[in-house]
Amino acid sequence: MTTVLELKQITKTFGKGAAATQAVQPTDLAIAPGEFITLTGPSGSGKTTLLTMMGALQSPTSGAVLLNGQDLAKLSEKQRSKVRFEKYGFILQAANLIPYLNVQEQFKLVDKLSHTDNRAYADQLLTSLGLEEQRDSLPQMLSGGQRQRVAIARALYQQPQIVFADEPTASLDSKRAHQVVQTLNETAKAHQTAVVMVTHDESLFAYTDKVYQVRDGQVSLLATNH
């Protein structure tokens, strides 16, 4: 299997000596291009810590996170920042939109920073997420769910190799939640984008290829859907 992201015996320990807590036990995981995986488990089980290590936002205490075979810990912070911008898309619980830019301008800023112009794709994403009428709206004019859907469209916009989604449907009603995860699934397959989603919502598992349970920092395969 071709892998885009591979975890090799990664661990994460916070604190030292008697106060040390192992948030992530030794973990191996391989994710293929176009694969959509879910991490689920109780709060405080290590899911978000795992996600931030995969996303090059923090380094493991031991082991290696490999992106296309490259150990992320061996890159400089500047190189890791470039990886996060060019290869990764992040969908966080807080939408993190720029308050003084309308919806269309959020995408134009990405174009400006990456020297590209994919406006037709932006329109396609907004339509698929039911946002075609909000193109000229500022973030404060949108509902919480609409802001979250704009953030999802923005994360997908650069066609990253991997999208990391931390509880992306927490602020959405059930119908919108299913619509959003279906869009993530279709994008994963159409563009061979890997998606790693953290969610507690078991009704969304069916859209994903594999479900991993995270408990006390240990990761185990719960279900394979495809």
Say what the pLDDT of residue 192 is.
Answer: 92
Question: Closest by alpha carbon to 64, among 3, 12, 1?
Answer: 12
Q: Which long-range contacts (CB under 8 A, 24 or more apart) does 179-185 make?
A: 179/129, 179/130, 180/129, 180/148, 180/149, 180/152, 181/207, 181/208, 182/207, 183/125, 183/128, 183/129, 183/152, 183/156, 184/36, 184/152, 184/156, 185/36
Match domain 5-224 to its CATH number in 3.40.50.300, 3.30.200.20, 3.30.70.1140, 1.10.460.10: 3.40.50.300
**Out of 60-64, 65-69, 99-103, 171-175, which region has the weakest mean confidence (pLDDT)?**
171-175
Say what the pLDDT of residue 64 is.
Answer: 96
Q: Which long-range contacts (CB under 8 A, 24 or more apart) does 201-205 make?
A: 201/169, 201/177, 202/40, 203/174, 203/177, 203/178, 204/38, 204/169, 204/177, 204/178, 205/38, 205/40
Residue 214 has pLDDT above 70, yes or no: yes
**Over residues 168-175, mean pLDDT:** 86
Distances (CA, A) of 149 to 176, 179, 216: 9, 10, 31
For residues 4 and 88, give the distance between their C-alpha atoms in angstroms, rounded to a whole number.
11
Q: DSSP H helical segments within the chain, as ranges?
A: 47-54, 77-86, 103-114, 119-128, 144-157, 174-191
Confidence of residue 115 (pLDDT cuts 50, 70, 90): confident
**Out of 28-32, 37-41, 72-76, 118-122, which region has the weakest mean confidence (pLDDT)?**
118-122
Confidence of residue 226 (pLDDT cuts 50, 70, 90): low
Query: Would you state the structure tokens that stand for residue 95, as one six-digit string?
Result: 């939408």
Distances (CA, A) of 12 to 66, 80, 88: 16, 19, 21
- Residues in the chain, total: 226
For residues 177 and 116, give the distance between their C-alpha atoms in angstroms, rounded to a whole number.
30
Residue 75 has pLDDT above 90, yes or no: yes
Delimit the domains of the chain by residue range: 5-224
Residue 7 has pLDDT above 90, yes or no: yes
**Over residues 107-111, mean pLDDT:** 89
